Amino acid sequence: MGFRLLPDHLNREDQQALLDLVMALAQEAPFTRYVMPRTGRPFSIDMTNAGSQGWIADRSGYRYSPVQPVTGRPWPAIPATLLDLWHTHTGYPHEPECCLINHYRGEGARLSLHRDEDEETFDAPILNISLGDTAVFRLGGPKRTDPTRSFPVTSGSIMIFAGPSRLFYHGVDRLRVGSSQLLPDGGRLNLTLRRVTRPTR
Ligand code: SIN
Ligand code: FE2
């Protein structure tokens, strides 16, 4: 059990179906440009969520919230297609509670090296699904100072961060802008499915 990359795992129809789902979700819960807690500087990507818990950021910190911070409404439910992918690829016996959706619009969109550590439990893997332009992804180890490697992640690829890799540093250096025609306006969408709270059963 560890890190797995399944390149080009989803076929074109499945990718299109997921894209349609994301566009529908974004009608209910609009993409928002969060600011970073300490600096107040905006991210270079837009984010929204599905699920009972959505990941948000503002001047007071990074955390999970049951509502979209601008509209105050609960996030839409995680679609069944995504729950199926979660169960197939993680083998985790409980449901994910968050599907964070990142929108990288083009040149200059990136995500600096970080760990996903705002969850109550790290037992569940993280499932990562990519749509659209290829990302130059960076993966390190459990410590920020560990050596990192970078590799391309294409549309339809799935990554599973299980076992120790659940807490590995990772980020997106940049997009290969124009490498995919999937998104009508170009760019990349990334979906990460997470368990947030510790299951009681
Ligand atoms: C993330 O680390 O939250 C997303 C990484 C990605 O866009 O692939
Ligand atoms: Fe992350």
User: What is the position in ligand 1's atom list of the atom closest to the CA of 100?
Assistant: 3
Q: Which residues pair with 35 in a beta bridge?
A: 42
pLDDT at 201: 67
63 annotated as ligand-binding:
yes
Tell me the domain boundaries of the chain: 10-28+42-105+124-132
CB-based contact 81:33 (threshold 8 Å): no
Token pair for residue 115? Answer: 């760990």
Q: Pocket of ligand 1, candidates 98, 111, 194: which has the most ligand atoms within 8 Å of its Cβ, to mutate?
A: 111
In the chain, the N- to C-terminal Cα span, in Å, equals: 23
Nearest to 180 by CA among 171, 189, 167, 169: 189
Q: pLDDT by residue for the chain (201 residues), tens digit each?
A: 799 999 999 999 999 999 999 999 999 999 999 999 999 999 999 999 999 999 999 999 999 999 999 999 999 999 999 999 999 999 999 999 999 999 999 999 999 999 999 999 999 999 999 999 999 999 999 999 999 999 999 999 999 999 999 999 999 999 999 999 999 999 999 999 999 999 986
| C-alpha to C-alpha distance for 17 and 5, rounded to whole angstroms | 21
Helix axes 80-90, 12-28, angle to 10 degrees: 120
Report angle CA 51, 128, 162 to the nearest 5 degrees: 100
Cα–Cα dist 116/10, whole Å: 24
Question: Hey, is 23 helix, strand or coil?
Answer: helix
pLDDT single digits (tens) 138-169 = 999 999 999 999 999 999 999 999 999 999 99
pLDDT value, residue 109: 98
Pick the CATH number of 10-28+42-105+124-132 from 2.60.120.590, 3.50.50.60, 2.40.100.10, 1.10.760.10: 2.60.120.590
